[in-house]
Amino acid sequence: MADWLAALILGLVEGLTEFIPVSSTGHMLLLGHFLGFESTGKTFEIVIQLGALLAIISVYFRRLWTLATRWPFDAAARRFLIGLLVAFAPAVVIGVFAYDFIKTVLFETPTVVCWALIIGGVLLLWLDRMKKVPVYLDADRYPMRVYFLVGLFQCLAMIPGVSRSGATIAGGLLLGTDKRSAAEFSFFLALPTMGAAVAYDLLQNWSRLDFSDAGLIAIGFIAAFVTALAVVRLLLDFVSRNGFAPFAWWRIAVGVVGLGLLYAGF
C-alpha cells in the first residue's frame, strides 16, 4: 500500500476513534501492524493526535475562552477547572512512573489490544443496559470525589485497547452521571490528558523524531482534524439517542477480527 494512502487511513481512523469509546490507540496499533506502517520515532503517530486535539479546541473554543478569562473571579468556572485538574492528576502520576512499561511492553503486544477491545466492549454493553437513575447531569457540577474517581478510571486506558474516553465514560456512568454529561466531560478531560501525553512523548523521543515525511504527517494531521471535528460535533446527540451499544459491538467485532488475523499469522 502506498505510504500516502496508509497515512490518510491512519489519520481518518485517529480522528474517528479518538473521542468515542472504541480506543483510538488500539485501532492505530492494529492498523499500523497490519499495514506495516511505522514512522521513525513514532513522529507521525504522535503529531496526528494534535489534529484531534485541535478539533476539541475548535468546537469548545468559546467555552474554553470563558473558563480561561473568568476563573479568577467566577467561582463556578474556578471549581470546574479544579475538577479537571483533580481528574487529570492520577494520569500524570501513573503515566510518568509506568511510561517505559506501557510503551515497550503493552504497546508492542497486538494480542493485548484485541483482548482489551473485546472485554471493554462487553463491559460497555453491560453499562449501557444498566438500569441506574443518573444523579449528576452537568459535567460542570460533579462532586470533587466524582472528578477524582473518573480520573482513576481514565488510567485504565494506559492499557492500549481500553480507550481513554471509554474508561472515563464507564467510570462516570458507574458513579451516577448521565450518558451525555459523561461523554462531554470526557472531551474536556482529553485536553490536559492528550496535551500532556503528546508533550511527554515528544520529549522522550525528541532525538529520534524525523520530520522528513512532512507530507505524510500533514495528510494524517488534516484527516484526523476533519474527522475528529465531525465526531465531536455529532457524538453527544448520537449518544443521547442511541447510547453506547453501537460502539461496544464495534469494539467486540474489531477485537475478534484482530485476534483471527493475528492467529492466522498476519
| pLDDT the model gives residue 102 | 74
Lowest mean pLDDT: which of 3-7, 120-124, 254-258?
3-7
Rg, Å, the chain Cα set: 18
Mean pLDDT over 15-22 rounds to: 89
For 126, other C-beta atoms within 10 Å of its C-beta total: 11
Query: Tens of pLDDT along 109-160?
Result: 788 889 999 999 999 999 888 877 889 999 999 999 999 999 999 999 888 8
Supply φ then ψ for residue 159, to 5 degrees.
-85, 115
Determine contact, residues 37/210, Cβ cutoff 8 Å.
no
**CA-CA distance, 76 to 227, in Å (whole number)?**
32
Query: Residue 90: which pLDDT band, with cuts at 50, 70 and 90?
Result: very high
pTM of the predicted model as reported, rounded to 2 decimal places: 0.86
Identify the band that residue 86 occupies on the pLDDT scale cut at 50, 70 and 90.
very high
pLDDT digits (tens, 9 = 90+) for 200-223: 877 777 776 666 667 888 898 999
* 221: Cβ contacts below 8 Å, ≥ 6 apart: 11, 47, 48, 50, 51
By residue range, what is the domain housing residue 137? 3-263
Over residues 91-114, the mean pLDDT reads 79
The total number of structural domains in the chain stands at 1
Return the pLDDT at 106: 67
CB atoms within 10 A of CB 4: 13
Give the 3-state DSSP-derived string for 186-214, with helices as H, strands as E and coil as C. HHHHHHHHHHHHHHHHHHHCHHHCCCCCH
**What is the C-alpha to C-alpha distance for residues 200 and 205, in angstroms, rounded to an integer?**
9
Contacts of 129 (CB under 8 A, 6+ apart): 245
Poorest-confidence range of 99-103, 109-113, 143-147, 184-188? Answer: 99-103
What is the pLDDT at residue 108?
Answer: 65
